Structure 1
Amino acid sequence: MELQYCTSSPRYPKSDGLAERAVGICKGMLRKCDEAGVDIELGLLEYRTTPVKGLKVSPSELLNNRILRTAITTNENLLKIKEQMNVGIGLEEVKSRQKEYYNKGAKERKEFESGDLVALREDKIWIPGKIIEKHNTPRSYIVKDQPGRVLRRNSSHLKKTNIPFVEQKRDVEIEDPPQNNNSNNIQTENEIEYDAVSSQNINKTNDQNVVIEKRKIVKPIWCKDYVM
């Protein structure tokens, strides 16, 4: 059996909401246990015995077919084994209800094609871009911005536009050819004169004291008998 990795789009953690929610629950549990000075094992026990949203059973009941004993007083009859039936049907009903609510305000999103001009969202601004190709993961595209960067973005960060795409040319740095040691030690007369003049100008500017005019301060009459 081969595992197929499907990564989420950069800057779009919503696409991996299940994992993000699990991390948030664990962080909240650790923080509350630390603030209350409670052992983390008790926090995990409370989480496992809390009923799942939309169902009447907890994760421990689904695993052990019975309620676990907690710090809360529980009737002995409730701790007996009880087989859970039709749990899958309840989960499907919860999912279908969530899907129905979500689809009320949703609409079909048109896919982008190679060469489409788009506006690419970077932080809080939109910049011109161009679609290169569709990525092999859902709703992801490879785009190119004007400075020439090739980026992977989710379709929620893209929208069609009529703004012309003009790619900016990058400046190519050309390295200086290697010089001989003898040539490095040789200075022309012009270079020597320029260095002398520039050093004199720097010394002159450093020697000049900058004087800033201040507002004249008039002391009140009652201060004339005092040394201020």
Structure 2
Amino acid sequence: MKIALFGYGKMGKMIEGIATKRGHEIVARIGKDDNPELNGADVAIDFSIPEAAFSNITHCFENNTPVVSGTTGWLEKYSDAIEACKKNKGAFIYASNFSLGVNLFFELNKKLAAMMASTPSYEARMEEIHHIHKLDAPSGTAITLAEGIIENSAYSSWKLGESKENEVSITSKRTGEVPGTHTITWESQVDRIDITHTAHNREGFGLGAVIAAEWLKDKEGVFSMKDVLNL
């Protein structure tokens, strides 16, 4: 499979290594100032920057190239991207986190929230920890987890920092080179329940993105990691 990479930082280079080991060919490495030539790619993987993501994604649709995007911080244009995908009969997967373990954790989080919905004595909150280079807070993964709680409980929104009633409080910490740790806590006056996902390194993110790209090739439509993993 021929792959075009949008963004060639640490993640892009890691994806290149993983894809090459799996027998794929990188035919384009596109930075923010480069000409977005796809060079006949079968699929594109976008781990660029928020300001460039929407342009990269729509460029792929216009050139009949399926695209997998893990860039966060641009989702105010997500509905426009979906519209562009459908208009061009393209193929698209966006995920805030492509780690296979994290996507299983997303489903566990939803199930726990649904179970806790009938026990109002418990209050939900979240803590996420990432490396000091991460630009956005809370993380895209934390937002996805918060949305999973909101969809399956009485909570109506989330808030960074101290929250009000019916808001899931998210605490974001940036320290060292932590790849990513997310903890959901449900606490009452008598006990607490914690579920945590801890990434040991960033390779899981890259591997999941390559697996998603392999799955997306030759498809049409808007998909998620739930489709890829058959969850």
TM-score tier (shorter): under 0.3
Compute the TM-score of the two structures, normalised by the length of structure 2: 0.21
TM-score, length of structure 1 as denominator length: 0.21
Q: Looking at secondary structure, tell me which structure has more strand per residue.
A: 2
